[in-house]
Each structure stands twice: as C-alpha cells, then as structure tokens.
Structure 1
C-alpha cells in the first residue's frame, strides 16, 4: 500500500483521484458532476491524496487550506465500493492527519455525510452546528483542533 500526494492537477495522481470521485460521488450518489469538480480554483489550490494498493488507486481525499494557512477543509473522501471495509480509508485519513500536523494547521473542518460521522469521530472530530443538506445529501459539520 502506498499513498501519493499531489497539487498538480495535470498529474496521473490527480486524474486517479478524479476517477474515484466520479465513481463514488457522481455515479453512486448522484451528485451533479458540475458540483463535484466545478471549482477549478479549489481543485488547483488543494492537496490531493490517493491511496494505491497492488498498483491500483483505491481511495482519495483532498485538503484545502484556508487563506490564513492555520486551518484547512477536508473534502472529497472517497473509496471505491469494492474496496471499502479494508482499512484504506483509515490509512488515507491517518496520512492526511500527519500531513496536517506537519503543516502546522491548528484546525481541520469537514462536512460529513451523516453515515460517515462515526468514521471521523474516531479521529477526534467533533460535530459542530446543525444538520444541513449539500448536493442533496444530509451532512453535519465536524471539527478537529490540534494542540
């Protein structure tokens, strides 16, 4: 297993991330493609993580730093359906957390689909605010502060 990181939106790593996101969010969950990959500035400003196993991309997540560089937004966490429950998401998320600590972020935030909030809670994320709808799916804001 290997996790690759890129900021290059012309790289093979980024295109692998898009393939996973397209399958999970657009095809499985019905999120319009324009919403999923509609903001090219966010795409280019993000750090994209892709987990590979046996030479195949299995999961992805991206991290978008705020302008102040002290906090970041975790987005687009996705693993192919056939690769779920194999520990890939945990490995990917642990790598993102290590990267975030090394980058001296003080706070990470995310919008968790309600079905995934338990996953993020195990990494120390706490729910903030009220449940809201995003792309037709119920979400809750979550936050983790680093000491």
Structure 2
C-alpha cells in the first residue's frame, strides 16, 4: 500500500485530522518510517475513504495502533469503533496478542469503552498530553 493512491489518501486524511490542527506536517522521514507498517482503511461503496489507522510491530506478539483518523464529518458515527475492532481481528490473525496505543487525552474514554487499559504515566507527544493504553487480544 505504501506509495499507492490509497496510501496518499490516508496520508491526506491523517494530515487533515491529526497533524494540521497541531501545526504539524509529515516529513519524508515520518512517511518512510512506516513503509513496513500495516495500513488499514475503511472505504464506502463509492470508493471514498472514511477512516484509517496504522499498526506498527513492537514485538513478536505486540503491535501498536497509531494514527487513527476518521473523516471529521463522520466522527462519532461508529466508523472508528468498527475500524479498531477490525484491526484487532487483523492483529490476531497475524499472530499478535496485544495491542497498544498512545491516546490523546480527549480520546481516552473512547478507548476505555473498547476495553483498553491505561498503563504508565501521562506524557506529552506531538505537543499534547497522551496516555499509553493496551488491550490483550483474545479469539472469540
């Protein structure tokens, strides 16, 4: 996916939703660092990108979910929840048993509802407060 039209769409969405509001932009180094990551997307029937996220391998059984973005006009519609639930199944299917994330402070209640548990101390990342969260992934 890296370098494809779909990838460029996800970069634009992540930039619009996550970076630009903080006065940040993706550097070429940022983007080249994610070439080996899993890029998961949600499209509608007309081929419009609705949301995306990135999974970065952190260890043999652990993957970190990051850069979760949903189109602003579709936030709070269930797309983020569906995308994360799909990513958990995807991670399990690829042999991962734990998902972690660095959640922005305002997003923590969302992740708690999905079964994520905070650990460690709050910290600052990309100029704003974050908290580490994790979830043990189990097959149904």
TM-score by structure 2 length?
0.89
Q: Which whole-Å CA distance do the structure 1 matches of 2:68 and 2:29 have between them?
A: 16
Alpha-carbon distance, 1:62 to partner: 0.5
Over the aligned positions, Cα root-mean-square deviation in angstroms equals 1.6
Q: Is the 8 A contact 1:72 1:109 kept in 2?
A: yes
Alpha-carbon distance, 1:89 to partner: 0.5
Q: Which whole-Å CA distance do the structure 1 matches of 2:32 and 2:19 have between them?
A: 20
Q: What is aligned with 1:114?
A: 105
Q: Which whole-Å CA distance do the structure 1 matches of 2:129 and 2:29 have between them?
A: 20
Q: What is aligned with 1:94?
A: 85
Alpha-carbon distance, 1:129 to partner: 0.8
Runs of 4+ in 1 over 3 A off after TM superposition: none
Aligned pairs, number: 137
- 1:23 and 2:16 are equivalent in the alignment: yes
Could you list the runs of 5+ residues in structure 1 that have no partner in the other structure?
1-7
1:47 pairs, out of 38, 47, 53, with 38
Alpha-carbon distance, 1:26 to partner: 2.2
- Where 1:45 maps in the other structure, the secondary structure is coil
Greater mean alpha carbon deviation, residues 109-118 or residues 45-54: 45-54
Q: Which whole-Å CA distance do the structure 2 matches of 1:78 and 1:61 have between them?
A: 6
Alpha-carbon distance, 1:41 to partner: 4.6
